[in-house]
Structures are given as structure tokens and as C-alpha cells.
Amino acid sequence: MNIAPSGLRTTLFTKPLFALARRALPSMSDTERQALEVGDTWWDAELFTGNPDWQELLDCPAGALSEEEQAFLDGPCERLCAMIDDWDVNWHRRDLPPQVWSFLKTHRFFGMIIPKRHGGLGFSALAHSEVVRKIASRSATAAVTVMVPNSLGPGELLLQFGTRAQQAYWLPRLARGLEIPCFGLTSPEAGSDAAAMQDRGVICEGRHPTSGESVLGMRLNWHKRYITLGPVATVLGLAFKLSDPHRLLGDTAELGITVALVPTHLPGIEIGRRHLPSYQSFQNGPNRGRDVFVPLHWIIGGPDRIGDGWMMLMSALAVGRGISLPSLSAAATALSARTTGAYARVREQFGIPIGQFEGVQARLARLAGVAYQLDAARTFTCCGLDQGLKLSVISAIMKAHATYRMRVAVDDAMDVHAGKAVIDGPRNYLGALYRAVPVGITVEGANILTRNLIVFGQGAIRCHPYLRDELHALQSADTADGLRHFDRVVWRHVGHIIATAARTCLRNWSGTRLAPNPTGTPVAGHFRMLSSMSSTFALLADAALLSLGGELKRRELLSARLGDILSELFLASAVLKRFHDDGHPAADRPVVDYCLSCARVRMDLSIRQILQNLPNRLLATALRPIVQPLRPSMRGPTDELIVRTANLLQTPSATRERLTAGLHLGTGADAVAVLERAFEQVCDCAPLEERLRDADCASPREGLERGIIDRHEHARLVQAATLVSAAIEVDDFDPATLTPMTADAWEGNGSASVGVRS
């Protein structure tokens, strides 16, 4: 956009604007800058333009497993799930059995991300996700044990940043389970604020831990907690602040956050004690190091990587965070949906299945919607990761919203199961999932921080078409060069805002009828709604950024609402992508409509709240007729749509199988397997039950005696009733097995070593 000849424009407009923007530029720490700069953009950047290319979305190849990956899922992964008794793991052993640990190592579950040339499995992101998802449908403890070495840990860091010598030595050992890794980042004082980390390393001379010769290295002191696999780890990836007070490396004293590999057997290391996270028995605990000396070449990437630790961590997290917890969340949600639909069909109250009550149907519909949406978003994210992209913003969206929605889904499942899910024991397939929910919400970046600061804060800088270039121009040490660059970019940005405002006005005033959609789709209306929401989001984002500037960093509630709209756009896009990739099955349409209807309500609410809370009231008043000229769509799914969506989970069908594919459903007397057989029998016997009701028969026996059914049909009904009785049964225990913990089990110093009296 040229509002004046370039020289005059620069003098009259750009120079004053450049000076004003420089003064308003917020201060930013190195850790903040590295966190915001790291990673790649993908569909998130397309949404930020306000005019996404839907054909690009639909043309993105759907992920597919190789024959080898599918064989691993059908073979070792299924056998692993069959080996695990989650009640025994969490209640009796407080650990995975030795044979399970051995199986994990033998079949290289800890080396899924490690290439074959280094002895690993070399799986795609999709295969990695499918393995975690299947295991999580059996045991959260086992899933966490497998996913951590394949997520943020030494393996990923070595692959991205390790020296060739480090990769050659460590990666084969990690892949074969000869070394068990953990990663030490969180400390008591710092939590999510890495800049406040108190763990220190000091450059000094010392004795090499293995050769004994005098070498230049680091003396480390640290205190970490919440470290998964820490109690059993043989090698610790350690994050610390490195300093060189004696200037042995150069003129700089504070060298920044650095990451090193530290074998856990070294003198001065205290490791082995355990936390008990929400009564989940995966290995997790604190560790300390006092005056632990390690040579410089144990830094991941060698001495050249001194001070790069935070960038390295953010880069690794951009991959792992998009796979691990979203996969676990998708598993928990799909299992909740499948079992709750089955239970609502077989469990009767007042003479009818509880799934026929509308209050229960509302929960079932939400379960189906969340299950479909999370799995669609999970597989879509894996498509991007398998292109080699480090999706920092999308991974943050997935981590936060997958775990939040998992909580909603598991809560709904608990409500429908009622007492069946409250009474713990081997028959309770939801209790462990319910207790594990806070773990997912807390780890790998607490959700409150992620939602309020990261999603939009990082998204704006990484995904906005012009903001990043403008910031670079403003931060340029060469003022003249910065001004020239700023002049080129800022007026393009102005043109973008004007075009976005016009586009938004046109789409919203037409009720989305003039918004674009891809050709040949049966859900064109949903695409048009998202087109309109995308341009609305882009305009609101620019309005907030320009009116608040650096203050937006402190306006967390506004940032969260903008991030919520971006997240809803991404998740809804994934739903439509999944529906397209599946071939638009008509039977799946209710759940697709349900997902998009809920997404629209949530986005409309966020828009209203942004307009209500923008500090510049004049701007908010001017924006309202553009972004929300008509009454916001607060209707949500209709009652008819809720019932149709709920019925998808209560009827054997291809849709139900697509919604919950890839789970481990148990065998034999496993509670989920018993429920599945009861569900199948009840559905199979439904015509017989209807025949008995029409004949006013009080029982199958009466129906047999009156000739309404034959002996074979009577046997089927009796078998179904027997299976239902087993499926709805709960556990009870001998009082001796529930003996309370004794007072003398507790140790001093505020710690406890807890045992159950036999």
C-alpha cells in the first residue's frame, strides 16, 4: 500500500511511527525471546492470515502407517497391553512388573524416535502417536513410561543437537534400553520459569570421572523434582545455568542455560526417591547433585552449544509436546466414549437403558464430539510433524486443549457410570484415568501458562504475516537499516488490516454466505463459518496488538481469548480434514455437525468477551459492527443433533469403530472386554427383547413358556443378562486388604515412605 511517495511517506509517517513503536517495545528476556522464536509454522499461519486456503488443507496427504509400523502395533504393542494389569501396577506393585520392563527394552519401545541406523525403530510421528495411544488405553503408567524417552529427553536432544560422537555412543544404548533416560528441568524455585532456575554449573578444572585426568569442565549443583523416570534413570539430561567467573573460556561470566548428559552413578548425585503423582505408579521423583564434576564435552552438542539450552529445549518440546500428551488424551477420551456408550446401552434404570435419558445423551454426545475432534487433531498434527516441521504453536494448542478436553470427557464418563466408576478395583476401567487427568494438564508446560501466554503470544510472533519482520526491524542495531525495513513492512501490514476489515465485514454481514469454501464438499457451510471466523480473528488480533502493544503481554485474559479462537479454528479445521479424508461418510455427519456447532458457540463467546474487555472502548465500538454485526450464535447443537450424536456410541456401527479405532479393549475377564461382549449381546438381542415387550412377557422364561421365543433365543437372552450382570458389577474387598497405613510408616523431615500393612 502506497499512501504517499516513499520519501515523503517515510518522513511524515514512518519515522514518527518507528520511534513511537521502539519506545513502546516491551522488554523481553533471552528465554522469552528463544521460546517465541523457535519452531516452524504450518496451518496455524494460514489461519492467522484471515483468509485460509481450504484446498491446501484438504490436499495435505493423510498420514498412513507403514506395514512395519502396523505390524508393531498389532504385535508387540498388543502383547504389551495384554501383559499389563493396571490395578496390580497401581495398587500392589507401584511399578510395572519386571517382565514388562524387559519387554519394553527388548522390543525397543524406548527407541521409537531413534533412527534405525542408530538401532532404534525409526517410526513416523503418526506411528509414535498410535503406539502411545494404544498403550494409554490400557495403562496410563505404561504409556507415560514409554512416551517420556520418546518426547522431551536426551534422545530428541541428541538427534537434533548432539555431536556425532555423542549420537554414536548414546543413541544405540538408549534405543536398546541399556540406558534409561530422564530429563531434569523443573526445580522447586523455578517451576515453569526457567529464568529463575537456581541450578548452577561453574567452569573449572577437575578430574575426568572415568579417566581421572585433569580436564576443563563444570562443577554442577542442582535440585530437581517431578522428573519422570528419574528414580530408575541411568543418564540424566540436566538443564542448568552455566557461569565462568574465572573467565577460563573468555570474557563472558554468565553463559546461560546449558544442557548436559550426566550419568547418574557419579559421586555427589542423590537419585532414586519417588513422588506419587495422583496415585499413578510411573517412576517419577526428585534428584540432587552436589559438586558433581563433568567435562565440557558432556554438554549436548559439545562446548559450542554452551548457552543454547533453552532454545534446544523449546525446539525439542515443539515436537514431543505435539505427540505424547495429545495421544494419551485421545486414548482416554476414546476409551471413555466407547465404554460409556456401551454402559449406557446395557445399564437399565426404570426399565429402560440409561442412554435413552436425554441428560445422559447430552453427555454421550459431548463424549463423541470430543473423541472425534481430538483424534482428528492428533492425526492432523502428526501429518505436519512427519513433514519435518517443528510445530511449536500447534503443539502448544494440542497439549493444552487436548488435556483440557480429556478432563471434560473423563468427567462425563464418570457421571454416566456413576457408582460403577466411583468404586475402585480391577473392574473399574475409569478410575485410573480420572486420577491421571491432572498429571496431563500439569506436565510439559502447565495449561494455565500455555493458554494465557504461549498460544497467542507465540502464535502472534511466529504466525502473523508481518509482526515478526516488524519486530526485527524495530530491534535492529542499525537504526537507518531498521527504518528502511520497517517502512517496507509496516505499510504492507496496514494494507493487510484494511483488506481484512473489508473481508470480515463482507463475510459477517452476509451471514457467512459470501465467505469462501472448497468446491465439492457436503459441509460447505462449516467451511464458510470458519472462513468468517478466521478473518474476524485476524482483525481482532491486529486490533489488540496495535492498541495495546507491549501491554498485551500482561493482558493474559485477552491473550487467552484470542488464543482460544485460534485453537478452535485449528481443531475445527482438523475435524473437517478428517471428515474429508474418511470420504465424507454420511453416518459421521452428526458428530461433525456437533463439533462445528460447539466450536462456533465458543468462538462467538470469546469474540464477545474480547469486545467487552478491550481497553480502548472507541476501538471496541468501531469493531463490533464489523466482527459481530448479527446476534452471536449462542444456540449450540439442537436437541435432535445431540440425540443423533449420542446414538452413535450406543449402536454397533462403522462410525463407532472409526471413533474409537486403535484401542486395546482387553481380553477374557478384563472389565472392558466383558463390557464389550455384554454390549454386543444386548444389541444382538434387541429384537428379541422388543418381541417380548410387545407380547407383555415379564421375563424370557415366560416368553419361552408361551412360545414367543424358542430355546436358542432364550439361551441368548440369558447369556446377555449374565454378561450385563458381570459388566455392571463392582469390586469389594476383604477388610484386611484395605488396612490403613500405620503411623510408624512415616519418616521425619517432611517426607514419607509409605507401605501397606499385610
pLDDT tens digits, 34-80: 666 778 999 999 999 999 999 999 999 999 999 999 999 999 999 99
Lowest mean pLDDT among 35-44, 128-137, 635-644: 35-44
Lowest mean pLDDT among 405-409, 424-428, 491-495, 565-569: 491-495
Residue 202 pLDDT grade (very low, low, confident, very high; cuts 50, 70, 90): very high
Residue 741 has pLDDT above 80, yes or no: no
> Average pLDDT in the 384-413 region?
95
pLDDT of residue 724: 96
pTM: 0.93
In the chain, where the domains are located = 6-28+471-646, 67-175, 181-309, 671-728
> Average pLDDT in the 448-462 region?
90
pLDDT of residue 307: 93
Top pLDDT among 487 and 159 is at 159
Any idea which architecture 181-309 has in CATH?
Beta Barrel (2.40)
> Average pLDDT in the 169-195 region?
89
Pull the grid cell for residue 230.
528419574
3-class DSSP assignment, residue 242: strand
> DSSP per residue over 305-358, as a string?
GTT-HHHHHHHHHHHHTTTHHHHHHHHHHHHHHHHHHHHHHH-EETTEEGGGSH
Of 143, 145, 141, 146, nearest in space to 88 by CA: 141
> Average pLDDT in the 247-258 region?
93
The whole-angstrom separation of Cα 226 and Cα 403 is 18
Residue 553 has pLDDT above 90, yes or no: no
3-class DSSP assignment, residue 569: helix
pLDDT of residue 634: 67
Residue 453 has pLDDT above 80, yes or no: yes
Residue 633 pLDDT grade (very low, low, confident, very high; cuts 50, 70, 90): low
Q: Give me the CATH topology for the region 67-175.
A: Butyryl-Coa Dehydrogenase, subunit A; domain 1 (1.10.540)
> Average pLDDT in the 633-650 region?
92
Top pLDDT among 121 and 457 is at 121
Residue 136 has pLDDT above 90, yes or no: yes
> Average pLDDT in the 609-626 region?
95
Residues 323-353 pLDDT 10s:
999 999 999 999 999 999 999 999 999 989 9
Lowest mean pLDDT among 111-115, 208-212, 636-640: 208-212
Residue 32 pLDDT grade (very low, low, confident, very high; cuts 50, 70, 90): low
Mean pLDDT of the chain: 91
Is there a contact between 388 and 36 (Cβ–Cβ < 8 Å)? no
Residue 183 pLDDT grade (very low, low, confident, very high; cuts 50, 70, 90): very high
> Average pLDDT in the 595-622 region?
96
In sequence order, what are the beta bridge partners of 38? none
> Average pLDDT in the 356-372 region?
98
Residue 758 pLDDT grade (very low, low, confident, very high; cuts 50, 70, 90): very low
pLDDT of residue 334: 98
Give the percent of the chain with pLDDT over 90.
77
Residue 28 has pLDDT above 70, yes or no: no
Give the percent of the chain with pLDDT over 70.
94
Pull the grid cell for residue 552.
498485551
> Average pLDDT in the 227-235 region?
96
Residues 286-313 pLDDT 10s:
999 999 999 999 999 999 999 999 888 8
pLDDT of residue 740: 67
Of 567, 396, 322, 545, nearest in space to 36 by CA: 396
In sequence order, what are the beta bridge partners of 19? none
The whole-angstrom separation of Cα 173 and Cα 238 is 18
Q: What is the largest CA-CA distance in the chain?
A: 101
Residues 143-157 pLDDT 10s:
999 999 998 789 999
| Catalytic (active-site) positions | 444
pLDDT of residue 632: 66
Give the amino acid at 357: F
Residue 756 has pLDDT above 50, yes or no: no
Give the amino acid at 486: F
